[in-house]
């Protein structure tokens, strides 16, 4: 299997899942997740038509970015946990931060965006499973409310929606209730009409469960292994 043929197969599976849910496959973006992989993997996927990529670590991506300079219209999102002290570097390297999990981080990203004269797209990461080892804000928490309260002041952030990584289960169906919770949270927030908060993006679903996530309303699936093969274990 090649990266190109894997991408084709995944686009087919996205189309079928969307069809089952009576959704338009065009509503579902495919993000290639390239953590731990060399820039050559990203270039190969780009040549096969892939444009949207997700990376997990600022330092790791900063080492690849020079090799990717010719991929003019590729977009790179930060999807891993981001420490506030790395916000300036992340704001410089990425077009979007999909893992916002505190008002403090938003402050830092906004300040960095202001310095760079750049508007950053942002998703709020929600820890739907309440797992202690996972990042993300708890739904219905004071931390989440403090993010909402800050949004109107962060002129260099465009909050676009929610992201989640649910608890892992072998059976892809195990993710369904968490994906549904994220969608229902989105719907409740949309009904509040919070100033500056757009909720058009729901980033959920990975290699083993993206079809279930699409059935539950995902608009962005983040896929590593099913495109690029197994990552070397650290
Ligand atoms: C690694 C990773 C993915 C992709 O995982 P696969 O199982 O390889 O598809 C998606 N989202 C996040 C946040 C990740 O860290």
pLDDT tens-digit series, residues 137-170? 999 999 999 999 999 999 999 999 999 999 999 9
Torsion of CA 101, 69, 44, 36, to 10 degrees: -40
**Residue 52: inside a domain, yes or no?**
yes
Indicate which CATH number applies to the domain containing 35: 3.20.20.10
C-alpha to C-alpha distance for 98 and 80, rounded to whole angstroms: 8
Q: 117 C-alpha vs ligand 1 centroid, how far in Å?
A: 30
- The count of structural domains within the chain is 1
Ligand 1 within 6 A of 84 CB? no
Residue 234 — pLDDT band, cuts 50, 70, 90? low
Ligand 1 within 6 A of 206 CB? yes
Segment 196-221 shows an average pLDDT of 98
* Domain hosting residue 109, numbered range: 3-228
**Residue 234: inside a domain, yes or no?**
no
**Residue 20: inside a domain, yes or no?**
yes
Give me the helices (H) in the chain, please: 3-20, 39-47, 58-64, 87-93, 103-116, 142-150, 176-192, 210-215, 225-228
Query: Taking 80 as the threshold, does the pLDDT of residue 187 lie above it?
Result: yes
Ligand 1 within 6 A of 10 CB? no
pLDDT for res 232? 75
- pTM given for the model: 0.97
pLDDT digits (tens, 9 = 90+) for 36-58: 999 999 999 999 999 999 999 99
**Residue 56: inside a domain, yes or no?**
yes
Segment 110-129 shows an average pLDDT of 98
**Would you state the structure tokens that stand for residue 42, as one six-digit string?**
């990203």
Ligand 1 within 6 A of 36 CB? no
Query: Taking 80 as the threshold, does the pLDDT of residue 214 lie above it?
Result: yes
């Amino acid at each position: 299997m090649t990266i190109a043929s894997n991408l084709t197969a995944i686009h087919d599976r996205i189309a079928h899942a969307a069809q089952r849910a009576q959704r338009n496959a065009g509503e579902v973006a495919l993000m290639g997740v390239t953590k731990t992989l060399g820039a050559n993997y990203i270039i190969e996927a780009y040549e096969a038509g892939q444009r949207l990529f997700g990376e997990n670590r600022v330092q790791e991506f900063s080492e690849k970015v020079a090799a990717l300079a010719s991929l003019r219209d590729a977009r790179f999102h930060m999807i891993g946990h981001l420490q506030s002290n790395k916000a300036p570097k992340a704001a410089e390297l990425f077009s979007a931060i999909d893992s916002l999990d505190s008002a403090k981080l938003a402050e830092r990203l906004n300040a960095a965006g202001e310095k760079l004269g750049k508007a950053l797209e942002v998703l709020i990461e929600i820890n739907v499973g309440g797992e202690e080892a996972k990042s993300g804000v708890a739904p219905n928490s004071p931390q989440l409310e403090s993010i909402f309260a800050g949004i109107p002041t962060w002129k260099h952030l465009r909050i676009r929606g929610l992201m989640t990584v649910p608890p892992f289960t072998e059976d892809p169906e195990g993710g369904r209730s968490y994906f549904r919770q994220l969608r229902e949270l989105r719907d409740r927030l949309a009904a509040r009409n919070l100033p500056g908060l757009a909720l058009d993006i729901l980033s959920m679903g990975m290699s083993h469960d993206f079809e279930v996530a699409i059935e539950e309303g995902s608009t962005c699936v983040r896929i590593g292994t099913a495109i690029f093969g197994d990552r070397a274990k650290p």
